[in-house]
A = this chain, B = another copy of it.
Amino acid sequence: MAQNLGARQTNAGVDYISSFRKLTVFEEPGERVIALATAGNLATSQAVTSIVSERLGARKGEDSIYTSKTMFNVAQIVGRALRQVIDEHGEHVRESGGDPTATFILGGQIKDRAPRLFLIYAAGNFIEASAETPFLQIGENKYGKPILDRTISYDMPIERAVTASLVSFDSTMRSNLSVGPPIDLITILAGEQRVERHASIEENDAYFTELRKTYGDGIVSLFETLPDPDISNWPPGPSC
């Protein structure tokens, strides 16, 4: 079973921790929502997620994402946890031929502050999305990047961004058969500090199936309209 929900009564209300395979969400509705998606070494990913989750219990100290005043500070906490895990296990994993690295996408909002989105590298450092760089990717990212480069903009409607993301996943799945559903997807509304919707899209999902077919047929049709080069006007080979 993929989904794992936890709730904790606190002074402020109820906290939620939701886990969907590679996606974990920390929610104190109305106050803060923090989503952490992961790619790479599974043991590293889970260890980092566990460290970040356990520190919630304390609810104080500089390394609690529930007392962090900024998303930037949350990114630092995740980065430090990631570096700690790789410092501890990395050499041993490499000795047995494995790759201990993992990367994270961290998104969310703390009340009265702007929503922010970070990509945290295996070294623990990170970059932030912006109006000019409105999306971030981790994992098997290259196959699906061209369609995002052509379609994603900072102020597009959320439905359109979801559609573009799913087309990007489709391209990735077609080019690397080891990538596949389910795709976990959440939407967060700016200013509400809570998860609005969550979808877990399976192989046979009706919408995704239609989208894949419409896009695939559309690309083939588009390709048919593209002009061909006039090869007969190219220079001949050197022996001619």
Contacts of A131 in B (CB 8 A): none
Q: What is the copy number of this chain in the assembly?
A: 2
Q: Is the CB of A231 within 8 A of B197?
A: yes
Contacts of A211 in B (CB 8 A): 226-227, 229
Among B149, B229, B234, B238, point to the contact of A5 (Cβ < 8 A).
B238
Contacts of A226 in B (CB 8 A): 163, 167, 211, 214-215, 218
Contacts of A195 in B (CB 8 A): 236-240
Q: Is the CB of B237 within 8 A of A194?
A: yes
Q: Is the CB of A219 within 8 A of B150?
A: yes
- The stretch of A38-46, A77-85, A106-114, A154-162 in contact with B is A154-162
Size of interface on A: residues with Cβ below 8 Å to B: 63
Contacts of A126 in B (CB 8 A): none
Instruction: State the A residues within 8 Å of B (CB).
Output: 5, 7, 14, 16, 18, 25, 27, 29, 142-147, 149-151, 158-160, 162-164, 166-167, 171-172, 174-175, 186-187, 194-199, 207, 210-211, 214-216, 218-220, 222-223, 225-232, 234-240
Contacts of A14 in B (CB 8 A): 239
| Cα A187 to Cα B230 with chains together (Å) | 12
Contacts of A186 in B (CB 8 A): 237
Given contacts A167-B223, A196-B236, A197-B236, 20 further A-B pairs with CB under 8 A are A16-B238, A27-B238, A29-B239, A145-B175, A146-B147, A146-B171, A146-B174, A150-B219, A150-B220, A151-B220, A151-B223, A166-B229, A167-B226, A187-B231, A196-B240, A198-B236, A198-B238, A207-B227, A214-B227, A215-B222
